[in-house]
Chains A and B, each alone.
Chain A
Amino acid sequence: MGIISRAFKNIGKNWYRFGLFFVTTAFWLFFAWRATGFLNSFNIFTLLRFASVQVMVGFAQMIALSAAEMDLSVGAIGAGVAMFVGALMQLLGVPYPLAILLGMLLGATAGFVNGILVVKTKINSFVITLATSSMFSGIMFITTKAKAFTVLPQGFVDLSRVWTFGLPISPLVWIMLVVAIVLYFVYSATSLGRKILAVGANRRAAEMSGLRSSKIRITVFVLVGIVAGMAGIMDAARMESAGPIIGTEWLLTSFAVPAIGGTSISGGNVVVFGTVLGGILTGTITNGVLLMNVSNFFVNFFLGLILLLAVGFDRLQKAYRERTSVK
């Protein structure tokens, strides 16, 4: 058995992930053909930068989904953290790396609040995070009066502006890739990742085999808070403005990106690099549709349709596998 034949076997087993790759490529080819300026290096730069934020938003929800939870407050946390970091930099002159760290800490705190509430009250995470989402954005609006912070330090803005290695790739993309590698490592090689997946697949079984599910679930919400906060900060860097508009459109994105990437909605499995591709796909569609001068209001329509197709396809394929796997 050579490496090559094993690789082919892997492709056979995971063809749907390559399917997503082909779909994304097909969209790139289509837009390259139909949308003027799509392959322009500046457009590629903008597209990848936008997609990396989408991927981060997807990561936040992916972590929650992996433990069979939902977090509707990712948008509120992202906006709150971005505004907080903006305020630290603009009003207090805090150096940007420290501000970002403090922002991630705030995200972690918000996630911890979610986690504690979900675990202690034993109420569906959907309802808890629906309520906390409203509270988080309430606090953000009350403290900032919804005014955006636009005087941001050069170093922070450069995170989105600079071309690295002479390529149309902003540092935001590299940050996203580092997070992807870290998450892949956490889920595939650490006991924490395994425990999260075990709790997500079957909480009762995980508890019976000695896992402390409450601790793990709180950790999950903390991780979601950190990643959502990072997504908010990255979006602020991308738009060069930390404003309350951040996160308002994340609800669909956060579920669509991991679902398109093959992460199961009911918990117990994650496909980290599928989420990366999912974010690139939604980013590509948003960008391409805008370039084609189709009324940009239809973007929503297409993204909804793509999400439906993705989950429907996933379901079909599972049914197919169940039918064909005779043991």
Chain B
Amino acid sequence: MTKRKSDLTKGRGRSAFQKFVSSDWGRLLVIDVVAVAIMSMVSKEYLSTFNLFVITRDVSTMILIGFSQAIVLAIGQMNLSLGAIGGLVAVTSGGLMAMWGWPIWLAVLVGLLIGVLAGYLNGMLIVWTGINSFIITVATNSIFLGLNLGMTHAKPFYNISATVKAFGQARFGFFPYMGVVTIILIVLMVILLKYVVFGRQILATGGNWNAAEISGVPVKRSVVLAHIISGFMAAVAGMLWMSQLGSAQPMIGVSWLLPSFAIPIIGGVALTGGGASIGGIVLAAFLLSIIQSALVHLQVDPYYVQFLLGLLILSAVVLNELGGRRRRA
């Protein structure tokens, strides 16, 4: 495994173990493994093939939700409308299949297009008006959700194509078919942020807007592009969620806001922009799913989940902040 440059300079004079633990994802990997080890001792079924499948399938969408927020955080902005985009995409592509019998590929394509358009709209509104991304996406969230509920009257489409339903349940051993989509997108994200000019420009814009602008980075285009990627990821997550549920539920996406921030934050993405640790995001998505599944296995009151999720975010940001302060000192 190749070491990142920052890890090399950060860890000078420390043991390999220290370097590993102090990296963005090393610590998380240790936590993930420990959590799974504890759970496998507590509950025999925890490592059963089926439970691993459930966890991995859950992770497949969670990672995309994390990406959707992380790419916007990377430019120092936010997207509060990603859940509404996911929901809108799920009901339109589901509706096209159920009501008009469109072929799957066309319905999926339209779904992706809606996600991209919604992201484009967010980005353009932010760039044109110069208004805080928070306010713009609070407003568009409401607009997308209103469109979704207005079209569907909050009624799900159950008659989506059987292939799509089967896709959500299909697996190789414990590994869900859905995971393949996620792996492809993970690879694309890594390539985009490491080797593609657009991706580098997004990070540069987030790192230091003025410096990026002066050195000729098209900052506005980078902002719009980040929002388009965000909309695309939300769209894919929405359609995967639909195939997992086996119906196009208008309520898809309503619960995404908290995890969308929790995953990048726990994964070590700075809210001030300029970076996005893909490994951290993936491991953080695993951590959330491991914990949620553990709470189900331990028959913890589901109401505790929300409390614990909040506590987890809070401790993660506080730890990151303290770590950051120590590093700067």
Contact = CB atoms under 8 A, between A and B. Distances in A.
Most A CB atoms within 10 A — which of B139, B154, B306, B318?
B139
B170 interface: no
Interface of B: 78, 125, 129-132, 134-136, 138-143, 145-147, 149-150, 152-154, 257-258, 261, 265, 271, 301, 303-311, 313-314, 317-318, 321
Nearest to A316: B129
Interface of A: 70, 117, 121-124, 126-128, 130-139, 141-142, 145-146, 251-252, 255-256, 259, 265-266, 295, 297-305, 307-308, 311-312, 315
Contacts of B317: 121, 123, 127-128, 131
For the residues of B in contact with A, the DSSP-based class is: helix
Most B CB atoms within 10 A — which of A70, A141, A146?
A141
A214 to B, nearest CB: 16
A150 to B, nearest CB: 20
A265 B131 contact: yes
A126 B265 contact: no
Contacts of B138: 251-252, 255-256, 304, 307
Given A126-B78, A259-B135, A312-B129, A138 B308 contact: yes
B142 A252 contact: yes
B122 to A, nearest CB: 11
A301 B130 contact: no
Contacts, number: 136
Nearest to B250: A297
Contacts of A252: 138-139, 141-142
Given A124-B271, A142-B301, A295-B153, A304 B146 contact: yes
Contacts of B257: 130
A123 B258 contact: no
27 contacts: A123-B271, A127-B271, A128-B317, A131-B313, A131-B314, A134-B307, A135-B311, A137-B306, A138-B310, A139-B307, A251-B138, A255-B135, A265-B131, A298-B146, A298-B149, A298-B150, A301-B143, A301-B145, A302-B146, A303-B142, A304-B141, A304-B145, A305-B139, A307-B138, A308-B125, A308-B136, A312-B131
A141 B140 contact: no
B150 A135 contact: no
B143 A297 contact: no
A292 to B, nearest CB: 13
Given A122-B321, A142-B303, A308-B140, A132 B129 contact: no
Contacts of A127: 261, 265, 271, 313, 317
